[in-house]
Amino acid sequence: MLYYAVVFLIIALVAGVLGFFGIAGAAASIAKILFFIFIVLFVLSLIFGRRRL
């Protein structure tokens, strides 16, 4: 998931440099959403992934 966030961030940067600001804004918002989902899943896996029986 972090990979896709980085890919959308790169797309946003390239689109911004080329002047496609609408596409850049959309890609940046998708990257931000994916990054926050990654952070939540990472924290949950840290909390619940260490259970031992």
Q: What is the pTM of this model?
A: 0.77
- Tens of pLDDT, residue by residue over 11-48, are 999 999 999 999 999 999 999 999 999 999 999 998 88
Q: Name the CA radius of gyration of the chain, rounded.
A: 15
Nearest 10 degrees: Cα torsion 29, 3, 38, 17: -20
CA dist 17 and 12 (Å) reads: 9
How many residues are listed for the chain in this entry?
53
